[in-house]
Amino acid sequence: MGNSENCAYEQEPYYMILWMLIERGKKFYYLYPHFDERFNSTNPRIDKDSPDIAIHMWYTRMWESQMDVHGMPNFLRYQKIERYLIERNND
């Protein structure tokens, strides 16, 4: 990699692939980040008015934590999403 990057300090192991693609001039298309107040998640959409295509939860590795995420304890966010998915799959 150029610019003397040190991949050991990256938080996610796949980031170095992203940086390599950028260095090679690859173009990325970005999704619209919709904030979902039910789970305090950032749900990607194709554009502002399209439906969510996923539920993106931050701090997955700390799912049981009491840490505050936009006014809600992190563990509660994950309990809510778990209940939502179970109910949705039982319909």
Give the per-residue pLDDT at 2. Answer: 52
SS3 per residue for the chain: CCCCCCHHHCCCCCHHHHHHHHHCCCCCCCCEEEEECCCCEEEEECCCCCCCCCCCCCCHHHCCCCCEECCEEHHHHHHHHHHHHHHHHHC
Q: What is the pLDDT of residues 2-55, one digit of tens each?
A: 555 555 556 777 888 888 999 999 988 889 999 999 999 999 999 999 999 999
Give the per-residue pLDDT at 67. Answer: 94
* Predicted model pTM: 0.67
